Each structure stands twice: as structure tokens, then as C-alpha cells.
Chains A and B, each alone.
Chain A
Amino acid sequence: GESVGLHLPTLSVQEGDNSIINCAYSNSASDYFIWYKQESGKGPQFIIDIRSNMDKRQGQRVTVLLNKTVKHLSLQIAATQPGDSAVYFCAESRGGGGNKLTFGTGTQLKVEL
């Protein structure tokens, strides 16, 4: 069946290092992808998005890479800070109306001092 999933449930990095969080998707018809950050006790917050006609998009300290050939999405965080500790979700839009997003199961990012 179709799924959006993450390779690793937990990722530990040292403060100052770069973090890479991966996500696999299986629906080749998906045309919009998005990353959310969820801190403990809060709702998910938008980080960055990318449309299927792009393969890279950069934000402030974050970069999203899209590889449509292997249906892979990654989030790169530069110079990871303690405030980056959170659960990160990827999500895909499978078309249709209403911006209905399907979410992955999440990756816990832990930043070690």
C-alpha cells in the first residue's frame, strides 16, 4: 500500500553538527511535500515545503531535498542547536482538493551538548 515513512525513529547529533532526517514516499503522484517540527506539548509547526517541480529548496538553516527517482525526501538542518530538539514529520499531498496531507510517523531529533 501507499505510505509515507521515515527511515529512523530517533536521531542524535552533537550541537553544531549538521542533521539529516530522511523520509520515503511511495506515491509517485504526490506533488507537494512538507516538513513539520513538533516540540513537546505543542502542535506541529511548518518548517519548509517543496513542490514536485523542484529538487532542492533552502530556508534559514534548513534545506529540503527531493529525489523523485527514488521517492526520497530529506531535511537538512545546519549547525544544529538545542532548540532544534523535537519530532520532525514529513508529509505529502496526494492531490485532490482541500490540501489533504498524509503524514509520516516522525523522527525524534535529540541534540547533545
Chain B
Amino acid sequence: DVKVTQSSRYLVKRTGEKVFLECVQDMDHENMFWYRQDPGLGLRLIYFSYDVKMKEKGDIPEGYSVSREKKERFSLILESASTNQTSMYLCASSSGQANEKLFFGSGTQLSVL
């Protein structure tokens, strides 16, 4: 089975801190994604990547950046965390085939105080 692992289950940070959320997948998938999940808003796409060193903005990229130096790892970076970035962050991966399902990690609940 595909495994998508997010490094932290819970994270508490202070306003202005630089925050790194790490995600690793073990199925050699080309595509990786970062979503945030908020009550009543569902999952919203922040950034995604088709390949190593490649990234594209999703629907809500403001305040975030990403890094994909290796195929299996996709990092989400909050340059200066703010309280409105308190959320559940979900990483996902999929193969390079068209219209294939995403496999999700368990999520990181980030609280910015």
C-alpha cells in the first residue's frame, strides 16, 4: 500500500516563526500536493508539484512556499506564520497517470499562537 507520511501530527508555533511541514511518500509518485482543511471549507489546494524541483500554485498559495528537492519529499514552508494559518494540513501524492486518485497522509494540525 502507498504510504504518505507527514512528519508531525500536532505542531504549535508562534506568530512570525518560520514553519516547515514535511511529507514523504514511498511509491515513487510523480505528483505531490499540499492541502489545508478548515471546518466548512473542505480541502483547499495550496501548492502542488509534478516533478522534482517543479512547483505550481494552487488556489490559496499566499503566505506559503514549497520545496521538492527529491522525488519522495515535498515540504511546505510558512515563511512567517500567522494566526490565520492555524489549520489541518494534508499532504497527498499520486502517480503521473491522468485522473488517478490521491493518497493522503494523516495530516498535521498546526496551531499558530
Q: How far is the CA of A27 from the CA of B56 in the complex (A)?
A: 22
Number of interface residues of B (CB under 8 A): 29
B31, A99: Cβ atoms under 8 Å?
Answer: yes
Interface residues of B (CB under 8 A from A): 4, 31, 33, 35, 40-45, 48, 50, 56, 58-59, 90, 92, 94, 97-107
Residues of A in contact with B, size category: 20 to 34
Q: How many inter-chain contacts with C-beta < 8 Å in the A-B complex?
A: 58
Q: How far is the CA of A18 from the CA of B58 in the complex (A)?
A: 36
B42, A49: Cβ atoms under 8 Å?
Answer: no
A98, B45: Cβ atoms under 8 Å?
Answer: no
A6 to chain B: closest residue by CB: B42
B101, A103: Cβ atoms under 8 Å?
Answer: no
Q: How far is the CA of A46 from the CA of B98 in the complex (A)?
A: 16
Is A83 positioned at the interface, with any CB of B under 8 Å from its CB? no
Q: Residues of B contacting A56 with CB < 8 Å? A: none
Q: Residues of A contacting B50 with CB < 8 Å? A: 97-98
Interface residues of A (CB under 8 A from B): 31-32, 34, 36, 41-46, 49, 51, 89, 91, 93, 97-106
Q: Residues of B contacting A43 with CB < 8 Å? A: 4, 90, 92, 104-107
